[in-house]
A = this chain, B = another copy of it.
Amino acid sequence: MKNKVLETLYEKKGKYISIDEISSELEIPASSVYEHIKSLINEGYSIESYSDNEFKLDEELTLILPHKLKNELNTTYIGKEIHYFREVDSTNEVAKRLAQEGAAEGVVVIAESQKRGRGRRGKPWISPLGGAWMSIILRPDTLPINAPQLTFTAGVAAADTIKEEYGLDVGIKWPNDILIENKKVCGILTEISTAIDSIDYIIAGIGIDANVDLDLLPPELREHTTSLKNELEKDISRMILVRKFLENFEEMYNEFNKGNFRNILNRWRKYSKTIGSKVEVRTGTKIVKGEAVGVNSEGALILELKDGSLKKMISGECRHVEDLNRTI
């Protein structure tokens, strides 16, 4: 209901609306409208009050409206339940808590910003306003060993969405960074909870620098990061972005569940910017250098080393070297 209050304010954004109006529109007592507004202000929404009876939402603010998103979403089970926040520590953490409490497959957590967003290998993921930060709870009926395949599945869904919706020429850096001309625009963090030999739940976390203003990023990140806004030179509708991504993801995840990971991987291969590049893959303290010549059916990267021998990298952090004279 709090989100419905928010959406009512949002529809009139920039203009004052009285508690009574909201109360009669949503058919809830004025007192609870007031409580919801206080709670929204506490969460960080920019809401101005006039004589404690009329309120208005910041005119400049664009929000992902969860009810509107859910109504327009053309999926069967992904995003049928959306948990939406102004700010969280990390959507993956919220999704994990929900999963532990028994949330169903397909539940989505979305936040306008994250205070402690996380990337792969424990790195922080800077998540200011303007991005699309979300996590999906999955409960696939497959062995834990296949879980990394979901990272590729989410990567292809994200690449497809950005390519189809905005016509941008996207690539994927192994295993799952979505790039536009060698700059990262989207990252994926898949986390798994297993119970003995089965998967309890998987959290697929996706962060897209949609309308992120690159000035909000630390200088060391700016050089290797871009946003859809930066590429297109205009704001995009994050609501459409999230909706299309969830629709594409459901379709791809169905493919995965049908055992068609090979098809997903073949699509991944077509996006790959890593295959054919010279790379350095860091695993723990070791660095392996070579030319990436392929990925196997599980998504492991195949390197050809200087001596001509071949090496399989199951995981690691990959850096492209000698690619357009820059490293990423």
What is the count of identical protomers in the complex? Answer: 2
Interface residue A297 (Cβ < 8 Å from any Cβ of B): yes
Within the assembled complex, what's the spacing in Å between the Cα atoms of A294 and B313? 14
B-contacting 9-mer, from A8-16, A20-28, A76-84, A269-277: A269-277
Docked-complex contact A291 and B302, CB < 8 angstroms: no
Chain B residues with Cβ below 8 Å from A291 are: 296-297
Docked-complex contact A295 and B294, CB < 8 angstroms: yes
- Residues of chain A in range 288-303 having any CB-CB distance to chain B below 8 Å: 291, 293-297, 302
Chain B residues with Cβ below 8 Å from A262 are: 276
Interface residue A236 (Cβ < 8 Å from any Cβ of B): no
Within the assembled complex, what's the spacing in Å between the Cα atoms of A275 and B270? 11
Secondary structure class of chain A's binding surface, majority of residues: mixed
Contact with B along A267-285 (1 / 0, CB 8 A): 0011000011000000000
Interface residue A304 (Cβ < 8 Å from any Cβ of B): yes
Within the assembled complex, what's the spacing in Å between the Cα atoms of A294 and B277? 13
Chain B residues with Cβ below 8 Å from A304 are: 296-297, 302
Chain B residues with Cβ below 8 Å from A266 are: 275-276
Within the assembled complex, what's the spacing in Å between the Cα atoms of A291 and B269? 15
Interface residue A37 (Cβ < 8 Å from any Cβ of B): no
Name the residue among A295, A296, A308, A312 with the largest chain B CB count within 10 angstroms: A296
Q: Given A276-B269, A312-B310: A294 and B297 within 8 A (CB)?
A: no
Residues of A within 8 A of B (CB): 262, 265-266, 269-270, 275-276, 291, 293-297, 302, 304, 308, 310, 312
A269-B276, A294-B294 given; 16 more Cβ-contact pairs under 8 Å = A265-B276, A266-B275, A275-B294, A291-B296, A293-B294, A293-B295, A293-B296, A293-B297, A294-B295, A296-B304, A297-B304, A302-B302, A302-B304, A302-B310, A308-B312, A310-B310
Give the 3 A-B residue pairs with the shortest CB-CB distance, closest first: A294-B294, A310-B310, A293-B294
7 A-B residue pairs with CB within 8 Å: A265-B276, A266-B275, A266-B276, A270-B270, A293-B295, A293-B296, A293-B302
